[in-house]
Structure 1
Amino acid sequence: MASERGRYDKLAEIASGGMATVYLARAHGLGGFERLVAVKEMHPHLAKEPEFVAMFLDEARLAAQIRHPNVVATLDVTENEEGSLSLVMEYVEGPSLQQILRRAVRQHDRVPIDLGLRLFLDALSGLEAAHELTDESGTPLHIVHRDVSPQNILVSTDGIAKLTDFGVARADSRLSSTRTGTVKGKVPYMAPEQIRSKSLDRRTDVYAAGAVLWEMLACRRLVQGDSEVAMMYQITEGVAVSPREVIPEVPEGVARACLKALEKNPDQRYPSAAEFAEALEASARAEGVVVANHRAVAAYVRAINVHRAPSALAPEGRRSVISGLSSVTGSGSGPASKEAPLSPPATPARTALTSTRDADVEASKKRSFRGVFISVGAVAVAALALFVWIRYGKPPTDANGPNERPAAQGAPVETQAPPATTAAVPPPAASATASAATSANAAPAEVVQPAVAKPAAPPSTATTSRTAKPPVKGGYRPREL
């Protein structure tokens, strides 16, 4: 991708909206200095619109003046070769509050009250810093964010929530002016006076913050409708119900503070984000709720794992570059930087561990396959040896007993003992094969041994089945009786 004046290399796209696209980029400096930044680049077709250019410059000028750990820092403004403006900001590694809330809804769960209050109090702190901003002479700028929403509250892996996106912010000294009748912001979080195009002040942001808190407590959006007109009517004419009617476990004092921020009349709301934060802390303390610290929030963010790491955003060929940078720059500045040891191991360490485990698994698979092949080969060799032994092996010498000879081919089966006068006479001629087998296997003593005269008896079943055993080699099975 093209670089911004040679100082910022865009590595991957993070998000895109109607006015600009946000990229993950690498900043270059002297002496090999590098760090990850977020580059918000205006869409090329808007670069020719003077109103959008002025609005973009307003955001850069206003955000750059807010220096607070709970506000995303603005570092630079550049222009690329095509004439599109880019806003260089601090890169916050971590999910948005919207991602956290969506994950809770999918899991049929809710954000723990102590962690949720910590995130929300951080956002109120950043909002108060924007409201209190003054110029060099000390004159208040009367900044109104006008787009406080879960999408614009980022939660870093260090456990710090940061407010971002002052693109539609209003200030007395802004360069551009809003057109008459134009409504800017997200409808579900707009205050009634914002919808009616009346004068706005910091209490408008207090209402939007109350809508965010209500959504976090009740695990659903406060204003819902099929169209923007329906949602606007609900805001201006409806009455906000207590989050306890949706989630009874919500502390009563916290619910009361939330409802006061959602009053339709601005005079009945908290006059500032700081007073809203103080009321919440006092209510939580009275209900026995201890607000979590940044370490607990950081552990929760890593546990739910709903954001994409910088190395996962970049293409395959540039992940090693991002991995090296992320281990140096971290995810942001502020008090939680001392809690860096709690962050997950760097991507290269995880990759090495994964590679080692993959190698072990592959070696185990190879050993298993080798054992299977050896077993199959052994069985095949044994089967072949058995076949060869049965087909070509010699028959046992005592198959028909010591005094019996195998029957000739085609001859009737006889088991009667021969008379004594024929003891020396050889048996009737048989086939060449049978005679050869008889002469080779029978001992000389068997021929001259006199037989004991016994009365003739019919052949028994046992003798018949034993004598009728087919020749082992070169013959066929004789016809059974």
Structure 2
Amino acid sequence: MTCLALVPDEMPKLGSYTLFEKIGRGGMAELFLARQETELGATRLVVVKVILPAFASDKRFAEMLIHEAKLAARLGHRHIAQVIDLGRADGRLFIAMEYVEGVDLTALLRHCSERGEGLPPEHAVGIACDVLAGLDYAHRRTTDAGVPLGIVHRDVSPSNVLVSFDGDVKLCDFGIAHANDLVAEDAADALKGKAGYMSPEHARGHVVDARSDVFAAGVVLWELLAGQRLYRPRGPIPLIEQARMAEIPPLPERGFPQHDLLSRIVSRALKVDRAERYSSAAIFQLELEEYLVRTGLLARRLHLGDWIAQTLGTQIVEQRRASERRLPPSTTPPALRSGVVKAGTSTARVSIPAAPKVPLELVLDEESSPFLPPADVAARR
């Protein structure tokens, strides 16, 4: 069995999906921009993750991936990128996901840190609130009989948070990390690339729960506000060891309204002892929303799309033009020219052409910083 290879005159199909551009590849899968077609001719853009043969043929891995993808497909929330389909075609295992025209947080962080700054507090906190809303929904999901599904994301990180050019926030890749861990050659491989956002208990190999996702969301928020990585290479100390120790530095002072209050909120999410953290994503979200109200920033968070347009204006135009050029002539949907491609409740990601990003397991090594700390920016200027 060979991996898919695209050539100009031959666009391979997997079931109802026509794959027309490879947008990423990693250790376990390839990612394609694709067109889904129904029997009656309706079409929409999706992203299809094709599992590499070596992994698709691993029975244990395939069973876990299918189980986790089925759970993820049950998640229908405005802040979760939906799994649309899971299937096999021509001996290939694949997952189809919702498509979002926008960027991931890694791209936004890189853009801001190159200017020596973080995100405005209303947008950093607002994005965190949306991520936490999606997490809380997933954490509370039950079977039809009311039995908790026990869903934990396990890899909340900037590369797994998508922001559309209209300001919609989506958390993606629920459950995939769990399956990916099964096929790692050893524990170090399983943790590689994720350590910077792991809770201490996760980094130590202990059982994770919803509070582990709360910690990871806290790390993401810390970085959005600070404009730099929380854990950075420190001589011989690897990131995974830093995650185990969880020595959290104070939130840098950047003139935030009521900085001490915001710092206390973030610090509680980052407690080493999970019993001292927020007991749920919902409580963390509530604290952040109260901060926005008390500081008068609540209304401003509604203008995330406007801020992205101002921040990435030229890149947005370039990406939309590139998207239209890449699409087959008969399949350029109007939605590509107006913002997010929305079909039902369905989204995955295609990011800025100059710095394409890929999800979760396709991020080969986050040990190398995905955005520059301010000190490095200064050194480059």
Q: TM-score range by the shorter chain?
A: 0.7 to 0.9
* Alignment gaps of 5+ in structure 2: 1-10, 346-381
Residue 331 of structure 1: aligned partner = 341
What residue is the counterpart of 1:9 in the other structure? 18
Q: Which of 226, 229, 238 is equivalent to 1:218?
A: 226
Range with bigger deviation, 280-289 or 37-46? 280-289
CA distance in 2, matches of 1:300, 1:142: 36
- What is the rounded CA distance, in whole Å, between the counterparts of 2:296 and 2:244 in structure 1? 35
- 1:353-383 C-alpha deviation (Å, 9 max, x unpaired): xxxxxxxxxxxxxxxxxxxxxxxxxxxxxxx
Name the counterpart of 2:361. Answer: none
Within the candidate set 39, 42, 48, 1:33 is matched to 42
Residue 298 in structure 1 maps to residue 308 in structure 2: no
Give the corresponding residue for 2:358: none
Per the alignment, residue 357 of structure 2 pairs with none
Task: Specify the alignment match of 1:465 in structure 2.
Answer: none
> For each residue in 1:418-464, what CA deviation from the matched residue of structure 2 results, as whole angstroms up to 9, or x when unmatched?
xxxxxxxxxxxxxxxxxxxxxxxxxxxxxxxxxxxxxxxxxxxxxxx
Equivalent in 59, 71, 79 of residue 70 of structure 1: 79
Counterpart code for 1:321? T
Query: Relative to structure 1, is the Cα distance of residues 238 and 194 closer, same or farther in structure 2, using a 3 angstrom cutoff?
Result: closer
TM-score by length of 1: 0.62
Deviates more, 1:105-114 or 1:124-133: 105-114
* TM-superposed deviation, 1:210: 0.5
Are residues 1:257 and 2:255 paired? no
Cα shift readout 1:185-231 (whole Å, capped 9, x = no counterpart): 70000111111111211000001000000000110010111689522
How far does residue 12 in structure 1 lie from its aligned partner after superposition? 1.6
Distance 1:280 1:265 in 2: 21
Task: State the match for 1:95 in structure 2.
Answer: 103
Matches within 5 A, 1:95-244: 95-168=103-176, 183-184=190-191, 186-225=194-233, 230-244=238-252
Cα separation, 2, equivalents of 1:43 and 1:178: 12
Does structure 1 retain, via aligned residues, the 8 Å contact 2:320–2:337?
no
**Aligned-residue offset at 1:262:** 0.5
Alpha-carbon distance between aligned partners in 2 of 1:227 and 1:42, rounded to the nearest angstrom: 36
Q: Tell me what 2:63 maps to.
A: 54
Cα distance between partner residues in 2 of 1:261 and 1:197: 20
Q: Does the 8 Å CA contact 1:71/1:163 hold for their aligned counterparts?
A: yes
Q: Secondary structure at the match of 2:117?
A: coil
Partner of 1:312: 322
Structure number with the higher strand fraction is 2
Deviations 1:23-53 (A, max 9, x none): 1111111332111111111123322222332
Alignment correspondent of 1:462: none
1:43 equivalent in alignment to 2:58: no
Query: 2:328 is aligned with what amino acid?
Result: R
Instruction: Quote the sequence identity (%).
Output: 33
Instruction: Report matched runs for 1:392-431 at 5 Å.
Output: none
Contact kept? 2:335, 2:342, Cα under 8 Å: no
Between the aligned partners of 1:324 and 1:228, the Cα distance in structure 2 is 52
SS at match of 1:138: coil
Q: 1:18 aligns with which of 27, 30, 34?
A: 27
2:296 corresponds to which residue?
A: 288
In structure 2, what residue type is equivalent to 1:84?
A: R
Count of matched residue pairs = 327
Give 1:108 deviation, angstroms. Answer: 2.8
Does structure 2 retain, via aligned residues, the 8 Å contact 1:158–1:331? Answer: no
Q: Identify which of structures 1 and 2 has the higher relative contact order when contacts are C-alpha pairs closer than 8 Å and 6+ apart.
A: 2
Q: Deviations over 1:332-359 (max 9, x none)?
A: 3799xxxxxxxxxxxxxxxxxxxxxxxx
* Separation in 2, partners of 1:63, 1:227: 39
Q: Is the 8 A contact 1:12 1:25 kept in 2?
A: yes
Cα–Cα, structure 1 residues 244 and 21, in superposed 2: closer, same or farther, change >3 Å?
Answer: same
3-state secondary structure, aligned to 1:94: strand
Separation (CA, whole Å) in 2 of partners of 1:123 and 1:228:
33
**1:108-162 deviations in Å (ceiling 9; x for gaps):** 3331111222211111111111101111211001111110000000111231111
Matched residue, 1:279: 287
* Kept in 1: contact 2:50–2:95 (CA 8 A): yes
Gaps of 5+ in 1: 336-481
Offset of 1:311 from its aligned partner? 5.2
Q: Is the 8 A contact 1:115 1:291 kept in 2?
A: no
Q: Distance in 1 between matches of 2:48 and 2:69?
A: 12
Change (3 A) 1:229 1:165: farther
SS of 2:102 mapped into structure 1: coil
Q: For the residues of structure 1 that align with 2:40 and 2:163, how far apart are their CA atoms?
A: 31
Q: CA deviation at 1:253?
A: 1.3
Q: Choose 1 or 2 for highest CA Rg.
A: 1
**Residues 157 and 329 of structure 1, relative CA distance in 2, 3 Å threshold:** closer
Is the 8 Å Cα contact of residues 44 and 343 (structure 2) preserved in structure 1? no
Secondary structure of the residue aligned to 2:173 is: coil
